[in-house]
Structure 1
Amino acid sequence: MLPRACQGRSGTYAAGVTTQEGPQADVLRWAAVQLGATAAVVSATGMREGGNPWLLRIDHDGQVIDAVLKTVTPEGVAGMATEVAALRVANRAGVPAPRILAVDASGEAAGTRAVLETAVPGRSRIPLDASPQRLRGLGAAVAALHSITTRPSPELPRRTRPIPASDFARDRREGRERSTPLLDAADDRVTRLPVPDSAPVLVHGDLWQGNTMWQGDRLTGLLDWDMAGVGHYGIDLSSLRLDAALTFGQGAAGSVLDGWEQRSGIEAADLAYWDAVAALNMPSDMAEFLPAIHDQGRPDLTAEELNTRRDAFLRAAIDRL
């Protein structure tokens, strides 16, 4: 199992992480039937560290169709409901993302709570180097998401930070997470400021490159919506800017912003605040996120390098506040 803060990044609905054992026969039969009475699962391949979610190959009358099966424990029901609600909104608006094929919220039909989604073509591996075109495309895709204004609901709650399943800043204040002078000073500065206001938009809530799919430099889909909600667009924009800075260096964050502003047609507001919030909701030692980052194709990145880059991003944000 990934560290607690990476759980939402494993594609399994945050607190409801399942084991790495393969899907049971009942849920595989349920998934196949969604495509046709005579359909059958040919194979089930774990997509994150060999486990849930599962890429299914389903034979339907001689045609093999790929689909993604996600199963969840009772603790992850809220995340499951959030993903389903967010994807339905995003699909209607034309945002590149999986489509919901079927949901068994009770587990009565599938033998376990499950969601079946379309498989998005491409790869989620993070390259060693990213072209400005790729980074601008990422920013533009997120701007399209943020064109969706909506109200909070039980399934899509109001969000005030990325990765809402974790609150590292609070944990440091309460002594459950070690800290550093920079993190303490930055947190003190941010907590004295009001949360910036904006028209409430749909936010993904856990945007990093491991939750994106690509064919070359073309983004084909945004994945893993269990931390979605409604809030300021800066939650997603700064989360992506930080991720780009962590994986490619500080200059990459500017290309993400360029793509977002070109697509949205406005200048991003309160960017320094949201940059700081994104950086503060990281573990004090980025080694905690290394398994997820290495699993996405960047074993070259070390905890020391990630800590240095996170701190540089945070200092730059605080200097602009």
Structure 2
Amino acid sequence: MWVLQLVGGDAVTEIRPLKAGGSPWLIGWGDASAGGRAVLRVGTAAEARVQARAETAMPIADEHGVPVPDVLGSRISDEESLLLIEWIDGSSSQPVEPDPARLEALGAMAAVIFRADLGDIELPHVSRPIDGVDFDALRTASPHPLLERAARRLDGMHPESPTGLVHGDLWPGNTLWRDGEIVAVIDWDCAGRGPAGVDLASLRLDAALSWGPEASDHVLAGWEREAAEPAQDVAYWDAVAGVNTPPDLGWFVETTIEAIDRPDLTREVMMKRRDAFLSDALERLG
């Protein structure tokens, strides 16, 4: 009823889960003229702060040339948090073989996001990808020598970097494509104010996980072309991205296979590539 009131529909005609059998949900409706579709994100009341990050960041990104869904409405109560956004026709599926043009487009998109003017808008500071997950605790529960060594190497290192808008979980699975072009950047729950390296390294790591180490170079090339300057502290941010993964890659594997339609990937392949990416970043750090 809440969705129908927002969109002016007469009746719900479709409800379909879009991720792992649950939220977000594709909602379809009909009315006297035609009807339409939207995406409903449902969370607990405790997740209202996360929803607020997305609801704040998306219009800012939109104003600065980032393709994002329009926010149609939101509601927060003692029981739940709801966010209704525009449905955009597109796919997150990615090719089995690396596509340099796509990878460069992803890097360029990270640069476009970063240069959005935040002004006095309040967003949390973001210093690593997916900051809502305690990766330190995951390493404690399941020790991994390389991750532990990398975490020790990074401890106390805080390069000075300009801050701008960052997505906070930028990877191909959070983009929608149509005819070879990015038509939407979605899932802004981890958005905030932070260094450009957060999103750049996140994309570079995911490119390496999905296609091998050479793929991350195309992401960097796209970012530097769009930003018109060299990226700073690339080795540091690559190491940060590598450390902030589950020791056994956990849900990263299942999410990647499902979101970008890559059933050819395996946990063993992705772990080997993650460890190689992180080892290389540590070597470049010295």
**What is the TM-score normalised by the length of structure 1?**
0.84
What's 2:172 paired with?
209
Identify if the C-alpha distance between structure 1 residues 184 and 152 changes in structure 2 by more than 3 Å, giving closer, same or farther. Answer: farther
- State the alpha-carbon separation in 2 of the partners of residues 166 and 260 from structure 1: 26
Identify if the C-alpha distance between structure 1 residues 283 and 113 changes in structure 2 by more than 3 Å, giving closer, same or farther. Answer: closer
The answer to whether the Cα contact below 8 Å between 1:145 and 1:202 also exists between their aligned partners in 2 is: yes
What's 1:176 paired with?
141
The answer to whether the Cα contact below 8 Å between 2:60 and 2:118 also exists between their aligned partners in 1 is: no
CA RMSD of aligned residues (A): 1.8
Gaps of 5+ in 2: none
- State the alpha-carbon separation in 2 of the partners of residues 76 and 133 from structure 1: 36
Alignment map for 1:1-321 (pairs within 5 Å): 29-36=1-8, 38-106=9-77, 112-150=80-118, 156-169=123-136, 171-172=138-139, 175-180=140-145, 182-193=146-157, 195-296=158-259, 297-321=261-285
The answer to whether the Cα contact below 8 Å between 1:287 and 1:302 also exists between their aligned partners in 2 is: no
The answer to whether the Cα contact below 8 Å between 1:152 and 1:158 also exists between their aligned partners in 2 is: no
Shift >3 Å, 4+ stretches: 151-154
Secondary structure of 2:115 counterpart: coil
Deviation digits for residues 43-86 of structure 1 (CA, Å, limit 9, x no counterpart): 01100022110111222323231211111111211111111011
What's 1:25 paired with?
none
Secondary structure of 1:166 counterpart: coil
What's 1:19 paired with?
none
Shift of 1:300: 1.7
Residue 177 of structure 1 aligns with an amino acid whose one-letter code is: S
Residue 176 of structure 1 aligns with an amino acid whose one-letter code is: A
Residue 48 of structure 2 aligns with an amino acid whose one-letter code is: V
Secondary structure of 1:314 counterpart: helix
- State the alpha-carbon separation in 2 of the partners of residues 98 and 133 from structure 1: 23
- State the alpha-carbon separation in 2 of the partners of residues 61 and 138 from structure 1: 40
The answer to whether the Cα contact below 8 Å between 2:12 and 2:27 also exists between their aligned partners in 1 is: yes
Number of residue pairs matched by the alignment = 284
Residue 293 of structure 1 aligns with an amino acid whose one-letter code is: T
Identify if the C-alpha distance between structure 1 residues 152 and 226 changes in structure 2 by more than 3 Å, giving closer, same or farther. Answer: farther
The answer to whether the Cα contact below 8 Å between 1:150 and 1:200 also exists between their aligned partners in 2 is: no
- State the alpha-carbon separation in 1 of the partners of residues 147 and 42 from structure 2: 36
Deviation digits for residues 98-152 of structure 1 (CA, Å, limit 9, x no counterpart): 1101111237xxx843111001221012321231111111111111101114368
**Which shows bigger deviation, 247-256 or 87-96?**
87-96
- State the alpha-carbon separation in 1 of the partners of residues 117 and 130 from structure 2: 20
- State the alpha-carbon separation in 2 of the partners of residues 39 and 136 from structure 1: 44
The answer to whether the Cα contact below 8 Å between 1:46 and 1:53 also exists between their aligned partners in 2 is: yes
- State the alpha-carbon separation in 2 of the partners of residues 202 and 117 from structure 1: 20
Deviation digits for residues 200-233 of structure 1 (CA, Å, limit 9, x no counterpart): 2011001111111001321111110011111001
Gaps of 5+ in 1: 1-28
The answer to whether the Cα contact below 8 Å between 1:35 and 1:60 also exists between their aligned partners in 2 is: no
The answer to whether the Cα contact below 8 Å between 2:47 and 2:81 also exists between their aligned partners in 1 is: no
- State the alpha-carbon separation in 2 of the partners of residues 104 and 54 from structure 1: 16
Shift of 1:89: 1.3
Identify if the C-alpha distance between structure 1 residues 170 and 320 changes in structure 2 by more than 3 Å, giving closer, same or farther. Answer: farther
